Chain A
């Protein structure tokens, strides 16, 4: 619950901004002196600094950080996928203070590599093509500049985010809402297929600043004249390789044709197929290219294979369940029928599991997804429908019950654990038919998939076994701050 000290009513925003802009530099210096806190106990802000600054940026000595509702510190070890940074801070990007508050209250302390590369370029209005792994802060890389550039005085749609799946749309919209809660009234709307069209039409009668959507639904709304995107200044395509596949590319081209000539397009993708290159050449102007894909698999993921016959797979899975310390796991099958059969078998073995696949109704899938990420069940069995960009930090084990057919699917599947630089485990059940596939995927991704050992070191994938001591973390954190 937001406290009175951190909540900024929308009506105050314009006045505050004007005051902030009008203040001469010397007064700001004076404000700094008067607002210097004494002792460690948080105090009410001094009168001189009680009016919050907005577009003026953050001044040294501001005590607004003391009022933040910070989540518990995440003490798990993180890999260089998110720690190999240049040392920038979110404040370096001249963001609105209210946006910084939202960022910190989500538990984000420092920008990850993709955020470091992306945010300042996006704020400068350049088109971007970014290759980055899932799970490395990609959503923040485009949402932070997107939310920073929303003008609340304009009551039309200013930005759209296109994603390939409904689950990802829900997730990105939730991050947007959480991050913008102090920004005084940014209206974010998620719209996807499979839900009531009438609800979306009614929603668009009210003010909407940002739409996060799957392509089919938003195109439908655009063509009906309900969603007016002729003044959109920023369009983001997350999972662009999927969005530009055969299934979606016609829809995407159609949506682009409704955007104004002067717009900014940001493309984020883990892979870089020909379709993305073609789209870039056609629609992006002098794009800024970011490539953080030195290695194609997440550093924190340990990958093993177990060589079994088809008949042995269930027994092997049972053994894994009994021996591994699973926080949450996702188990992938290659067809909807096999998902249902395996889920039934797992239940018979005495383990709890949810399952999800494309043939289920969308609302049911949403509810299962929501319940799983809230920890109501330990294991989820699904097809690849579920792989794109879904972020559940509690998942530390991914099991390929059926081995995927190509490297791209493999990459996205095993990215379900090891999120945001945390450690994770991927186990592949390999039959003789999968042997050449395994070799090909290893070569293509330049990664190493080893035979599964008799026992697996828990520090590779269990959070408690690689957490830093909280006191040491505090000391390290303070040292960093002093530096």
Chain B
């Protein structure tokens, strides 16, 4: 709203602090406020640590027990940044496809090892999909249960050898992680023995 009305609680650009009913303290700059739905949008410090990004929080004031205005802003707020809707639509579709792919693997009864391997491959090669219980990579390589290096089949060439390298590295990394956990448990056991 351009003109301040009787119902407007927060000015765009103000800094506010909220205490949610869960005891969580949120602090940030007001980006938008919708009086009928009582939704407040805050721009907060980035959780990723990247200085050129921000977290955007949507807060339902019906679940906020305490609101403090740290600094109020009286002048006209700057124009909102333009949004690239094509980019947003593409991102939403890609996220949805990823989630559906995950759900498919679970419903097909794929083992946890298979699901984890799929995630590792998909991390670098997006052309990766399920065909029943088989992982199909770039329409060239088929990985069937139990998803070991020997189970990678396809036309001999770079794609097959590269996928085999990924599978080999994946299981090597998994084994390293297990070793780390084991040595940590052993250390913990020793510590417990000393303390008792």
Chain A residues near B (Cβ < 8 Å): 25, 28-29, 32-33, 57, 59-61, 77, 79-80, 83, 86, 88, 92-94, 116, 119-121, 123-126, 149, 264, 288, 294-295, 468, 476, 479-480
Contact = CB atoms under 8 A, between A and B. Distances in A.
Given A29-B179, A60-B180, A124-B159, A476 B49 contact: yes
B71 interface: no
A159 to B, nearest CB: 13
Given A57-B169, A120-B162, A124-B162, A25 B124 contact: no
A79 B165 contact: no
B123 interface: yes
Contacts of A149: 158
Contacts of A93: 124
Given A83-B50, A124-B159, A124-B163, A28 B172 contact: yes
B119 to A, nearest CB: 12
B107 to A, nearest CB: 25
Given A94-B165, A125-B157, A125-B159, A86 B172 contact: no
Nearest to A26: B175
Contacts of A123: 158, 162
Contact of B162 (A94, A468, A476): A94
Interface string B110-145: 000000000000011101000000000010100000
Interface string B168-196: 11001101110110010000000000000
B158 A29 contact: no
15 contacts: A28-B172, A29-B176, A33-B183, A59-B176, A60-B177, A61-B176, A77-B51, A83-B50, A83-B52, A93-B124, A94-B165, A120-B162, A125-B158, A125-B159, A476-B51
A125 B169 CA distance: 19
A125 B138 CA distance: 11
Contact of A124 (B158, B168, B173): B158
A79 B175 CA distance: 37
Contact of A32 (B51, B138, B169, B176): B176
A120 B179 contact: no
A109 B127 CA distance: 25
B162 A86 contact: no
B172 A59 contact: yes
A57 B166 CA distance: 10
B24 interface: no
A225 B180 CA distance: 57
B84 interface: yes
A480 B84 CA distance: 28
B99 interface: no
B147 to A, nearest CB: 16
Given A86-B123, A121-B125, A479-B49, A60 B158 contact: no
A116 B125 CA distance: 9
Nearest to B164: A94
A60 to B, nearest CB: 4
B159 A294 contact: no
Contact of B123 (A79, A92, A121, A468): A92
Contact of B124 (A57, A61, A80, A88): A88
Contacts of B162: 94, 120, 123-125
A88 B177 CA distance: 18
Contact of A126 (B50, B138, B176): B138
B179 A32 contact: yes
A123 B125 CA distance: 11
Contacts of B163: 124
Nearest to A95: B165
Contacts of B176: 29, 32, 59-61
A79 B52 CA distance: 8
A48 to B, nearest CB: 14
A468 B179 contact: no
A55 B179 CA distance: 22
A138 to B, nearest CB: 18
A149 B175 CA distance: 27
A29 B124 contact: no
A113 to B, nearest CB: 13
A294 B124 contact: no
Contact of A120 (B86, B125, B140, B175): B125
Given A57-B168, A124-B125, A29 B175 contact: yes
A80 B51 CA distance: 12
Contacts of B138: 121, 124, 126
B52 A77 contact: yes
B175 A25 contact: yes
Nearest to A92: B124
B172 A94 contact: no
Contacts of B183: 33
Contacts of B175: 25, 29
The 3 A-B pairs at the shortest CB distance, nearest first, are namely A125-B158, A60-B176, A94-B165
A103 to B, nearest CB: 15
A126 B177 contact: no
Contacts of B157: 125
A120 B166 CA distance: 10
Contacts of B179: 29, 32-33
Interface in B82-111: 84, 86-87
Interface string B53-68: 0000000000000000
A282 B52 CA distance: 43
Contacts of A119: 124
A77 B52 CA distance: 8
A28 B86 CA distance: 48
A423 to B, nearest CB: 10
Contacts of A59: 172, 176
Given A83-B52, A92-B123, A120-B124, 18 more contacts: A25-B172, A29-B176, A32-B176, A59-B176, A61-B176, A88-B123, A93-B124, A94-B166, A120-B162, A124-B158, A124-B159, A124-B162, A125-B159, A264-B158, A294-B87, A468-B51, A476-B51, A479-B49
